Structure 1
Amino acid sequence: MRRIQIIVNNGAGTGQAHRVWNETQCLLRGYKIKYVAHTTRYQGHATKLAEKISSMKGDNPIYLIVVGGDGTLNEVLNGITDFDRVRLGVIPTGSGNDFGRNLKLPKTPKESLKQICASIRKDQRGEELYRIDLGQVSWEGCEKSRIFGISAGLGLDALVCKKALHSRLKQVLNRFHLGKLTYLALTVQSLFTMETANAKVITEHGGFILPKMIFAAAMNLPAEGGGVPMAPEASPEDGRLSLSSASGIAKWQTFFLLPFLVAAKQERINGFNIREENGFRVLLDKPMVLHADGEYCGDVTRVEFRCLEKRLWLLHEKEGD
């Protein structure tokens, strides 16, 4: 088996990454798998490592494993320079792990490595691997658009993601393996203090208005923020993004409607909408927070979301295969 490249974030999941990585190394040695491990040392380092790895000379496939959370994975996606050569595997260690949860990826290092090795053998036999869409977001003033695997969004969900990055509550909950509750707690906290904005959304099939928009989330996968199903029918295989939004709803009323969102019943509520398109342009009358896979991008007034169809080869099986 060709040597595997591994990017490791030992800080993901507030410490549990050390345990997962130690277990993974023992398994790799037991399976006699040759690998090179690259440990991240600072924010953004995974992007530089992925860029270096994916730019290696040659025409052979590059087998790359990410041991980390959704933030590390997003950095890696934004560092890959040659998606045609890279085959990506994920061993999750973060607190949210929305990427793995959405795609029903294995939860343990042993199960993950078993699936990754089987996919590598499949690839070397010339059989096609599981391939999924990615999303891309750009905004005014950005030097380079940002790729996302799960979602990118404006407003409430982005504000919550921004707060969660440095939340002491998240650190405490992670110790009890309850990190995903951080997002729900911060959502309730932020709902009554955030400002809404009037938005105009433009697609290739026309446009629509979102008055007093609370959030607009471009979903490549069904759920974000620790498993909240923002767009329950979103698929990473259809060449489209699902724009989930809430607008024209009083904040006090939205508080009582949150359970419907968590239960994936939001389409029954007036003011909650989901639209599917290859891309969306969103124009705001005042700045709102923007995120990509939970990573803060900026406070912006003009944003474009686009689907990158069948961009990523995965070293994992599609659910049901």
Structure 2
Amino acid sequence: MYHFIINSHAKSRLGHRIWNDIERYLREQKFEYKKYFTREAGHAARVANQITSNMEDAPTIVVLGGDGTLNEVLNGLRYLDGVTLGYIPIGSSNDFARGMDISKDYLKELHKIMYPKRFMRLDYGVATYGGKSKRFLVSSGIGFDAAVCHEVNHSPLKKIMNRLRIGKLTYGLVAIKQLAGIPYIKGKIIIDDKKVKTFDKIFFSSVHVQKYEGGGFMFCPEADATDGYIDLCVAENITRSRVLSILPSAKKGKHVTCSGIHIYRCKKAVFQMRRKQFVHIDGETEEKTMFTEVRFETSPDTIRFIIG
């Protein structure tokens, strides 16, 4: 049975129109399916939890939305064995789709999902903070990028910009504001319980399963979603003016040669910071919640994904 979880508010509220095209195709091809429209944040996770309530089922869950909707579904699953995921990107940043080479042609991607020939076992990461753990498929992080995600997600600006169909500009405007005022991070990173890296001026650190985050920044160009590792990009001791020159080069992954940029590959990384920081999970943050210690690690489990 195919289960479609649809974020109808995605793509500047074009989700309903896209779904109408998809449903027409499904009916013409006489597929059996169930559909679920998300109503608010957290609803996709509850739907995924409901779909996987019976351990004997082996559902195929198709997500229509952005990275945030996909993340909710991943975190809502009661079990992963037997679950197959398909994805049709209709979000703003679509970094998972970019990393997996999934096109914007939703009918083309739908055909692949409904007549699958190739599958991949994908890694996912786990971030633990404040006594709880959350899975991520794309990336997680602290510092500048997390602060930008937090302000975008918890301010009315994004909704206004989405209505005007210029939602992507929201991140740019907020990034400029955060760039001017966000404090540097002091602390240390413990890698695989062995190496300890101490830093006085971390601007941001992103932790990756996929190469991209933030709408196409290739912060970890060697990240591989099938190798069983997470990749870290740590930007430290970089002036705010230099950030403006480094970020454009990150679109092609060329920032890795810049001084102050450090790349690590590991199974586990623990961040211990002197001041509380926001944490983003696939671009999502919790309102008014900050932490001084966060553990990132790759899960020993994987999830089956349709790729063609």
TM-score range relative to shorter protein: over 0.9
Aligned to 1:68: 65
The 3 A distance-change label for structure 1 pair 232 and 176 is: farther
CA contact (8 A) 1:7 1:40 kept: yes
Q: Are residues 57 and 220 of structure 1, via their aligned partners in 2, closer, same or farther at CA, if it must alter by over 3 Å?
A: closer
Match of 1:87 in 2: 84
- Counterpart residue type for residue 148 of structure 1: F
Which residues in structure 2 correspond to 1:184-263 (within 5 Å)?
A: 184-204=172-192, 205-263=194-252
| Contact 1:180–1:227 (8 Å) recurs in 2 | no
Whole-Å separation in 2 of the counterparts to 1:177 and 1:308: 37
Q: Distance in 1 between matches of 2:254 and 2:29?
A: 45
Match of residue 294 from structure 1? 283
Deviation for aligned residue 1:280 = 0.4
Deviation at 1:257, TM superposition (A): 2.6
Letter in 2 for 1:87: T
Q: Which amino acid aligns with 1:300?
A: F
- Distance in 1, matches of 2:158 and 2:76, equals 27
Which runs of 5 or more residues in structure 2 are unaligned?
A: none
Q: Structure 1 residue aligned with 2:38, among 37, 40, 45?
A: 40
1:55 matched to 2:46? The reply is: no
**Contact 1:151-1:219 at 8 Å conserved across structures:** yes
Q: CA RMSD in A?
A: 1.9
Which residue in the other structure is 1:12 paired with? Answer: 10
Q: Which amino acid aligns with 2:151?
A: K
Output the CA distance in 2 between the equivalents of 1:262 and 1:184. Answer: 14
Question: Does 1:161 pair with 2:149?
Answer: yes
For structure 1, list consecutive stretches of 5 or more residues without a partner in the other structure. 123-127
Q: Equivalents in 2 of 1:183, 1:261: separation in Å?
A: 16
Conservation of the 8 A alpha-carbon contact between 2:139 and 2:213: yes
* TM value normalised by structure 1: 0.89
CA 99–177 in structure 1, closer or farther in 2 if over 3 Å, else same: farther
Partner of residue 265, structure 2:
276
Which shifted more, 162-171 or 282-291? 162-171
Could you tell me how far apart the structure 2 residues matched to 1:232 and 1:179 are? 26
Q: Percent sequence identity over matched residues? A: 33
